[in-house]
Amino acid sequence: MNLQIQINEQENKSIIHLSGEIDVYTAPKLKEALLPLTKEKDTIIEANLEHVSYMDSTGLGVFINALKLSKEYESKLRLVNLQERVFRLFQITGLHEIMDIHSTIRGVDG
Amino acid sequence: MDSKSCVRIMKEWDIVAARQMGREIAKNLGFGTVDQARITTAISELARNIYLYAEEGRIYFEAVESLELKGIRVTAEDTGPGIKDLSLVMEDGYSTSGGLGAGLPGVRRLMDEFDIESEVGKGTKIVTVKWVR
Amino acid sequence: MDTKDLDARNYTELLKGYVKTRDERALYGAEQISKTFIKNNILPEEIVNLHIQALLEIYPELHDKIQSSMNFLLEAMISYGLAHQEYQILREKQFEIKSEIHVAARMQKMLLQSNIPKLEDIDLGIISVPANQMNGDYHHVVKGKDGSISIAIADIIGKGIPAALSMSMIKYALDSFPENIMSTDAILASLNRVVERNIDPSMFITMFYAQYKPDTGKFYYSSAGHEPGFFYHSKENSFTEIEAKGLVLGVNPDTTYLQYEQEIVKGDMIILLTDGVTECRKGEQFIEREEVLEVIRTFMHLPAQEIVNQVYRYFERLQNFQLRDDFTLAILKKVV
C-alpha cells in the first residue's frame, strides 16, 4: 500500500492531506513533504489523517521530528481526523499530551 | 582531420552532433564497431549532462598518441553549477536510480581513462581517453 | 588462442551447424556458450558483434542492409551492458554490506545476552527475536543484593543498524546508574536526557522499567510511552492492562515520569511485551490484544520460559514464519 500526499497552501496555513499507510517505506516521502512546511515562522501546518489506515513507529518519528522543528521555527503543527487505531499510537506513546491533536473520528475523543 | 574538433552543447540536438563527430573521428582512428558504439555512448552521456545541468558547455575531441598506442581524448567542459560531492556522483547506482542513464560511472567504464574536476559555481571539466586496441 | 577467440570459434561453428540443420543439439550448445559468456563477463554488445562477425564469415555476401541493422542492435545493447556491469558491482557491494551486518549482529547478540538471573520467589522467562538480523528491541535484567529484580524492556523506533546503535547507548547508560537506589521514574528521566541529547530528531525509544522488591511484595513500574503489558490476577483468574502514562524517550529533555505500584501475590503474573507481539498480522488483519492473552492463558500452567517460547512459536506460525517486527515477550510469575 502506498501513501498519497496532497498539500494545500493558504496564507499562514498549510493543509497536508494524507491517505494510505505510513510505514518504514512511505515515511521518507512524508518526511520530505512535511518537514519543509514546519520551517515557516507563524504558519499553521494541519495534517489531515482521515484516510490514514495504518501508521507504525517510523511514521510517529516523522511527526516528532516535525514537532521539534515547529518549536524551533515557531510554527504550529496540528493533527486532525485521526482514525482510532492511529490515535491509539499517539496515546500509548504519550504524544497526545504534547501534540495538538484536534479531532479524531470513529468515536475517539481527542 | 583537425587535431582538435569541438561541438558546443546548448540544445538537445547538439548531443547528436557531438555523437556524430565523435564517431567519425573514432572510426578514422581505427576503432572497431563495438568501441565506436561505446565511445559514442560516453559522448552522449557527457553531452546530455551539459544539456540537462549546465545549460551551456562544449565537447571537444583530440587524437592522442603515446609510445605504442593511439586513441581519442574526449573532453567535456561547462560553466554550469558544478558538482558538490564528486564521490557521490561517481558512486554506482546513485544517478541511475532516478533513471537518468549510465551516469558518470558508466562513462568511466566505457572509456579507458577518466578524470573529473569540478568547482561549485564555476563548472565542471571531464577528460576521458579511449585507446585503440 | 585465448578463451574469447575460442568462444568466437565455437559460436561461429554452432551457428553454422544450426542454420544448416535446425538441430536442438546446436541450441543446447548455444545455452552452454551463453553460460560461459556470463562467466567470462562478456557484455551484450560484444555478443552482438560476435554474431555479426560470424554472419559475415558464413555469408560473405551478407546484405548491406542486414549488416546495418545488426549494427543498430549493437548500439542498442551498449546501455544494457553498462546496466549489467553496474548490477555486478552492486551485487558485490551488497555482499560486503551483508557480511558487515552479520558481524554487527553477532556483536549485538553479545550486548543483549544478559543472563537471566535465578530468583527464589519469581520465575522469569524472556524471549526476544529480531525480524531481521539486527534487533530493535532491548531488554535488561538486573538482580539486586537485596533479592530485588529490575527489568527494562525497550523498543527502538525503526529497525536495523540505527536501532542497534541506539541500543548500545541505552545499555551503557543503564549500566552506569547506581544499582537499585534509583526509583523507576528517576531512571527513565535520566535515560531520557541521555537519549534526547544523542538521538536523531526523527527517532525515539519506548521503555517500560520495572522493579520487584521482595521485602514489600510490591511491583514498581514506570513507562516511557511503551506498549502496555498485563497483570494476571490469580485470585480473580483475570488479566488487566498495566496502565502507566509517560512520554517516549528522546522527545523532550525535561520530561518527568510517574512511578506506579502493584502488590502481587503467589500465582500472579506480569506480562511485558513490545508491539512486535501485539502488531502480529494474520494476512492483512491485525490480531487483537485479547488474542495474545488467550494464547498466554493456554500455556499459563508451564514455567515462565516455556510460556514465552510457546507463545512465540504460536505467533511465528500464525505469521508464516516471517516476523514483520522484532518480537520481545517477558513473563514474571510469582511462585512463592
| CB proximity B20 to C under 8 Å | no
Q: Is the pLDDT of residue B119 over 60?
A: yes
Nearest-CA distance C79 → chain A (Å) = 29
Interface test with C, best of B23, B34, B95, B111 (most C CBs within 10 A): B34
Q: In whole angstroms, what is the distance from residue B39 CA to residue C70 CA?
A: 18
C and A: touch, per 3+ CB pairs < 8 A?
Answer: yes
* Chains touching B by CB (3 or more pairs below 8 Å): C
Q: In whole angstroms, what is the distance from residue C287 CA to residue C279 CA?
A: 7
| CB proximity A94 to C under 8 Å | yes
Cβ distance of A92 and C251 shorter than 8 Å: no
C319 vs B36, more confident: B36
Q: In whole angstroms, what is the distance from residue C19 CA to residue C15 CA?
A: 6
Interface of A with C in 26-65 (CB under 8 A): 31, 56-58, 60-62, 64-65
| CB proximity B98 to C under 8 Å | no
Q: Is the pLDDT of residue B115 over 60?
A: yes
Map chain B to HEC letters: CCCEEEEEECCHHHHHHHHHHHHHHHHHHCCCHHHHHHHHHHHHHHHHHHHHHHCCEEEEEEEEECCCCEEEEEEEEECCCCCCCHHHHCCCCCCHHHCCCCHHHHHHHHCCEEEEEEECCCEEEEEEEEECC
Instruction: Name C329's Cβ contacts closer than 8 Å, sequence gap at least 6.
Output: C126, C127, C128, C271, C272, C273, C274, C277, C308, C311, C312
**With contacts defined as CB-CB under 8 Å, which chain C residues touch A69?**
201
C229 in helix, strand or coil?
Answer: coil
**With contacts defined as CB-CB under 8 Å, which chain C residues touch B32?**
49
Query: Among the residues of C207-266, which ranges form H helices?
Result: none
Cβ distance of C201 and A69 shorter than 8 Å: yes
Residue C304: half-sphere exposure toward Cβ, Cα within 13 Å = 23
A·C CB contacts under 8 A: 58
Cβ distance of C158 and A58 shorter than 8 Å: yes
Cβ distance of C86 and B92 shorter than 8 Å: yes
Contact at 8 Å (CB) between A102 and A80? yes
Closest residue in A to C245 (Cα–Cα): A94
CATH number of B4-131: 3.30.565.10
Tell me the three cell numbers of residue C239: 488479566
The ipTM assigned to this model is 0.87
Percent of chain B with pLDDT over 70: 91
* Chains touching C by CB (3 or more pairs below 8 Å): A, B
Nearest-CA distance A22 → chain C (Å) = 13
Tell me the three cell numbers of residue A93: 506513546
Query: What's the whole-number mean pLDDT along residues B121-133?
Result: 94
A86 in helix, strand or coil?
Answer: helix
Query: What's the whole-number mean pLDDT along residues B22-51?
Result: 95
B and C: touch, per 3+ CB pairs < 8 A?
Answer: yes
CA proximity to C210, closest of C191, C188, C240: C188
Cβ distance of A93 and C157 shorter than 8 Å: no
Nearest-CA distance C214 → chain B (Å) = 59
Greatest pairwise CA separation for chain C in angstroms: 102
Q: Which residues of chain A have pLDDT under 70?
A: 1, 104-110
**With contacts defined as CB-CB under 8 Å, which chain C residues touch A31?**
202
Cβ distance of C247 and A93 shorter than 8 Å: yes
B and A: touch, per 3+ CB pairs < 8 A?
Answer: no
What pTM was estimated for this model as a whole? 0.73
Cβ distance of A67 and C248 shorter than 8 Å: no
Query: CA C284 → CA A60, A83, C85, C292, C314, distances in Å?
Result: 21, 17, 39, 17, 18
Other C-beta atoms lying within 10 Å of the C-beta of residue A75:
20
Q: In whole angstroms, what is the distance from residue C46 CA to residue C15 CA?
A: 16
Q: In whole angstroms, what is the distance from residue C70 CA to residue C95 CA?
A: 37
Say which amino acid occupies C279: E
Q: Which residues of chain C have pLDDT under 50?
A: 1
Tell me the three cell numbers of residue C65: 542492409
Nearest-CA distance C283 → chain A (Å) = 14
Nearest-CA distance A27 → chain C (Å) = 10
Task: Give me the pLDDT at residue B1, please.
Answer: 44
DSSP-assigned states of every residue in C31-89: HHHHHHHHHTT--HHHHHHHHHHHHHHH-TT--HHHHHHHHHHHHHHHHHHHHHHHHHH
Query: CA C25 → CA B17, C3, C13, C34, C54, distances in Å?
Result: 47, 22, 13, 14, 19
Handedness of CA C277, C280, C286, C290 (dihedral sign): negative
Q: In whole angstroms, what is the distance from residue C157 CA to residue C295 CA?
A: 26
Closest residue in C to B106 (Cα–Cα): C82
Cβ distance of C248 and A69 shorter than 8 Å: no
C279 in helix, strand or coil?
Answer: coil
Cβ distance of C225 and A98 shorter than 8 Å: no
Query: Structural domains in chain C?
Result: 3-92 (1.10.1240.30), 114-334 (3.60.40.10)
Cβ distance of A69 and C246 shorter than 8 Å: no
Closest residue in A to C203 (Cα–Cα): A61
Query: Structural domains in chain A?
Result: 3-104 (3.30.750.24)
Nearest-CA distance C248 → chain A (Å) = 5
**With contacts defined as CB-CB under 8 Å, which chain A residues touch C202?**
31, 61-62, 64-65
| CB proximity C47 to B under 8 Å | no
Cβ distance of C227 and A92 shorter than 8 Å: yes
Cβ distance of C204 and A58 shorter than 8 Å: no
Cβ distance of A95 and C225 shorter than 8 Å: yes
Give me the residue spans of the domains in chain B: 4-131
Closest residue in B to C49 (Cα–Cα): B34
Map C166-206 to HEC letters: HHHHHHHHHHHCCCCCCCHHHHHHHHHHHHHHHCCCCCCEE
Cβ distance of C157 and A65 shorter than 8 Å: no
Kind and range of the H or E run holding C6: helix C3-21
